[in-house]
Structure 1
Amino acid sequence: MPHIAIESGEPGIRGLFAFRPETAGPLNALAEVLLRGDNTLSRGERELIAAYVSGLNECRYCASSHSAFAAAQLSEGMALVDQVRANPDSAPITPKLRALLAIAAAVQKGGREVTGKLVDAAKAEGATEPEIHDTVLIAAAFCMFNRYVDGLATETPDDPAAYYAQSAERIVRYGYTSTTPAAGQPG
C-alpha cells in the first residue's frame, strides 16, 4: 500500500507524477534527453542501462518497465534484457556496453565507486567521453527514480504482458514528454 494517497490509480512513477504534476515535466524532460535524445548509444542500450540499474536497486516497477522499453527497442528483445540483468559479463553484448554497464553498477553503489580504471576500461573498448557521461547520469538518475518510486511504496503491476508492454509501445512511439494521454513516464 502506498505511503501517500495516490488517487489517480496509476502505478509507480505515473501515480506520483499525477499526484505532483509540477515535478512530472522536469523529470520527464530529463528522461527524454537521457533515454531518447541524440546519442551514439542506441535508445535500447540506454533503456538497458536504466533497467540494469533499476534491477540492482531492486525497484520492481522501474526494472520491469525499462526492461520492456529496452526489449521493444533491441532486436534481441527480452531474451537479451534478461541475460544482461542476470549477468552482463556473460551476456552477448559488445565489450563497450559491458564496460559501460560496469560503470553503471559502480554508480549504483555510490558515485565514488566509479574509478579511473573503470573509465579507462570503457575508453579502451571504444566508449566516448559523452557515452561515459551519459551512462553515469542515466545510472544516477535511475537511482533517484527508483528511490522515488520505492520510497513512497507505489503500487507495481504484476502482469508485465498487460501493463509494461503497453507502456513500452507508448514510450517507443511518443517518448517521455508527449502530451498524448497516458504517455509513459520514467521509473
Structure 2
Amino acid sequence: MAHIDLGLDEKTHPGINGPMLYRPETAKPLNELAEVLLRTPHPTLTPGERELIAAYVSGLNECAFCCSSHSAFAAAQLPTGMELVDQVRRDVSTAPVSDKLRALLRIAAAVQRSGREVTADLVGAARAEGATDLEIHDTVLIAAAFCMYNRYVDGLGTWAPQDPEMYARSAEQIVAHGYHAS
C-alpha cells in the first residue's frame, strides 16, 4: 500500500500511474518530459536506446516498477528485445551494444550515483566513440530525470506488479500512443 491515500486501487494503477492520477497537474509536465526524452524524433538515438538508458538507471536505483516498465518499453523497440535489455542490466561492459552506447550508459551510471561523477574522462571516452554533444546531453538528462521518477515512485511506496506480462501490455500502449495517453 502506498504511503499516502491516492484515492484509487493500486492494483489497477500501479507504480507511477497512481501518483499521476492523484496529481494530474504535475502528471502533465512529467509525461511531457518523458515523451520528449524517450519518444520524439532524435537524430541518432532510437526510442529503444533511450528507453534502455531509462531502464538501466532505474535498475541501478533498484526501482522495481520503473525498471520493469522501461525494460519492457525498451525491449519492445529493440531488435533483440528483452535479451539485450537483460544483458545490459547484468553487465554493460560485455553487453552486445555499440561502443558509443556503452560509453553513454557509463555516463548514465555516473549520473545515477551523482551528477558530479560525470567526468571529462567519461565524456571524452563517449566522444572518442562518436557520441555527439546532443547524445551526451540527452543521456545525462534521461538519467537525471529517471532518478527523479524512480524516487517519486519509491518515495510514495507505490505497488509494483511482479507479472512481466503486465509490463509487456503497457509497452504496447506506450509504443503505440506515447506518454501523453498515460
**Structure 2 unaligned blocks of 5 or more:** none
Q: Which residue of 1 aligns with 2:117?
A: 113
Give the secondary structure class of the aligned counterpart of 1:5: coil
**What does the per-residue CA deviation read over 1:75-123, in whole Å, with 9 as the maximum and x for residues that have no partner?**
1000000000010100000000000000000000000000000000000
* TM-score normalised by structure 1 residue count: 0.94
Q: Which residue of 1 aligns with 2:128?
A: 124
Q: Which residue of 2 aligns with 1:166?
A: 169
> CA RMSD of the aligned region, Å?
0.6
Q: Which residue of 2 aligns with 1:4?
A: 4
Cα distance in 2 for partners of 1:158, 1:22 equals 29
Q: How many residues align?
A: 178
**What does the per-residue CA deviation read over 1:14-56, in whole Å, with 9 as the maximum and x for residues that have no partner?**
0000111111100000000000012110000000000000000
Q: Which residue of 2 aligns with 1:64?
A: 68
Q: Which residue of 1 aligns with 2:36?
A: 33
* TM-score normalised by structure 2 residue count: 0.96
- 1:11 Cα offset (Å): 0.6
Query: Where do 4+ consecutive residues of structure 1 move more than 6 Å?
Result: none
One-letter code aligned to 2:31: N
Cα distance in 1 for partners of 2:137, 2:155 equals 26
Counterpart of 1:81 (choices 85, 109, 117) is 85
**Structure 1 unaligned blocks of 5 or more:** none
Identity of aligned residues (%): 69
